[in-house]
Amino acid sequence: MRLRKLLPEIIPDDKLQQIPQHITIIGEIAILTIHQNCEIYYPEIIKTILFNKRNIKTIVNKISKVNGQNRVASFQLLYGSETVTSHKEAGFSYLLDIMHVFFNPRLCSEHIRIAEQVHPGEKILIPFCGIGPFVIPAAAKGAEIIGVEINPYACSYAKKNAKYNHLSDQIEIVKGDSNTIVTMLDITFDRIIIPAPYGKEEILFSLLPLIKKNGELYLYLFKRKTQMPDIISSYEKKGFIIRRVAACGNVAPGVKRWVIDMIAP
């Protein structure tokens, strides 16, 4: 939803630039990121959202970045009170509470793109699995999935989502620190999908004992475009075969989320 486009006759130009271009919709919840000096305009913003999105039951303003061990942001309730919702994505449903877990609906195309490469019977590892958006589509392709997540709320929702989508038999969710996975497991995997939090991409190297020779790896990381050539070169020198590099979202001025598809040495 293009929020700023709907407000030019309501909010002065100097304040309008502090309103985000878009809002994030997760299930029946609308998430804004608006500076508090625009607080006087909250009633009109709320009215505009409710008029254009009739299914919205809760509106929140994001007041902190994702941080901490559980990887959650802080939100200010602007309208409504229910923070638990069911989000539909590519034929799957995900239960979650935005106050306690991280979920990014803008990665929908990545969730599906990777699942389309999965074959029945594969074993796949997903650290930082969250509520299961990479887990569920891959399991639906017939793979056996182990997801690892340290946030107890996300673990609980991932298990509920496996059951909710009738995939519990193929999914095991392990509560634990993804950085110590190699000490938890004694099997190897055909694929490892690594939606690493900011600055945690070095986990790739600690996971190498768990990937089969020539297994497929998918690494998400946050970098400036100018950093990527050196990063790719360093991986190639370590024996990785780079199959694909692509940007998949802006996260800060000049910083993008990137995905690197590669084959393990």
pLDDT > 90: percent of the chain: 78
pLDDT digits (tens, 9 = 90+) for 79-113: 999 999 999 999 999 999 999 999 999 999 999 99
Looking at residue 4, what is its pLDDT?
67
Determine, yes or no, domain membership for 95: no
Regarding whether 77 and 120 lie in a shared domain, the answer is no
Determine, yes or no, domain membership for 128: yes
DSSP state letter for 201:
T
Looking at residue 9, what is its pLDDT?
67
* Average pLDDT of the chain, as a whole number: 93
Instruction: Give how far Cα 235 sits from Cα of 49, 125, 217, 264, Å.
Output: 45, 20, 12, 10
Question: pTM of the entire structure?
Answer: 0.93
Regarding whether 159 and 112 lie in a shared domain, the answer is yes
Regarding whether 26 and 55 lie in a shared domain, the answer is yes
State the DSSP H helix or E strand holding residue 58, giving kind and residue range, or none if neither.
strand 58-62
Both tokens of residue 134? Answer: 């990479």
Both tokens of residue 154? Answer: 């996300």
Please give the residue that has the higher pLDDT: either 18 or 244. 244
Nearest alpha carbon to residue 128 among 107, 156, 154: 154
Q: What is the CATH number of the domain that holds 63?
A: 3.30.300.110
Per the structure, the complete domain to which residue 64 belongs is given by 4-82
Nearest alpha carbon to residue 131 among 166, 105, 156, 106: 156
Looking at residue 85, what is its pLDDT?
98
